[in-house]
Structure 1
């Protein structure tokens, strides 16, 4: 933790979460990226680095319109996250306080083992950790929750059109899975975004274990 910043500042929170998610297996290699809005500034992890080694000064800072405010020391040779266009698009359209992109195995497997363009979940207690983005409040465990899946592209910025369509088609969603790639999730705060990511990872894992047991539908 950097004592030059408040405890809840993104320069302290993001490196801590990166280490947590690396240990969870959600940010292996250089995969994944995190962003948190702090006032009018958006703090984003750099691209192509081992996330568990990120330091507070390594973050890029932008406006919601994509204007650069500051970046890490040039001597570090870091590059802006390739997820930045996707993050900024979600900030503009949904107005969240944080957007995370994780390469969790459960989200990838759920997308590959699901026919169609959504993952359906119902009758699982942890569904109550998922917020209904447009209508407000959290889901009941009996709700039929649909998480949209979009096709992967060769570059992160190529995902933007598919993201926009998914957000328009499923306005209550706070997460989108990229098939064979990972999940983007958002919340009103970084704490809520963390809750969404952890809830979905648990729910997808339950679904996958049921599929492995030959149970195709949760009742």
Structure 2
């Protein structure tokens, strides 16, 4: 069973059916969600959020990777057991051509096995987990880590 929020709706307001009987339009990015389920059978939930820190970092980081290391909260991410681990999240340029974007995502994830998410430049974060609880934990941990990383950049450190 897969559930998707309709275009323009927030997860917290998701209903089993529209109140007025109208046909709902799925998000344009549904293909990116489905791609993650197809590539890894252990994925039980995929979340896409438009957090401020994630969006800003995706724009200011030079290159195509955001490296997180040295934070205790990294251990909230699946497979990370030490604060000195290095988590390298891919950053991809946003593209309205979902087929082209999905191909780019596929190539980047193939090159970064075990990564817990990726950023779309100027758009937001995709992350996933074995279930909704793990995916939500990843969203919360990554949002915190992004805010820390952004603050450190503002302070001229790292």
**Could you state the TM-score of these two structures normalised by the residue count of structure 1?**
0.67
Once residues 11 and 97 of structure 2 are traced to their aligned partners in structure 1, the CA distance between those partners, rounded to angstroms, is 19
Structure 1 residues without counterparts, runs of 5 or longer: 1-40, 59-71, 132-136
Structure 2 residues without counterparts, runs of 5 or longer: none
Once residues 148 and 90 of structure 2 are traced to their aligned partners in structure 1, the CA distance between those partners, rounded to angstroms, is 18
Which secondary structure state, in structure 1, belongs to the residue aligned with residue 119 of structure 2? Answer: strand
Deviation, 1:77, is: 3.1
Aligned residues: 157
Structure 1 equivalent of residue 34 of structure 2: 88
Deviation, 1:74, is: 7.8
> 1:74–1:84: structure 2 CA closer, same or farther, 3 Å change rule?
farther
Contact 1:176 1:185 in 2 (8 A): yes
**Could you state the TM-score of these two structures normalised by the residue count of structure 2?**
0.91
Higher relative contact order structure (alpha carbons within 8 Å, sequence separation ≥ 6)? 2
Once residues 11 and 128 of structure 2 are traced to their aligned partners in structure 1, the CA distance between those partners, rounded to angstroms, is 19
The alignment status of 1:123 with 2:70, answered yes or no, reads: yes
For residue 22 of structure 2, the aligned residue among 73, 76, 93 is 76
The alignment status of 1:101 with 2:61, answered yes or no, reads: no
Contact 1:45 1:80 in 2 (8 A): yes
Once residues 144 and 105 of structure 1 are traced to their aligned partners in structure 2, the CA distance between those partners, rounded to angstroms, is 23
The alignment status of 1:110 with 2:57, answered yes or no, reads: yes
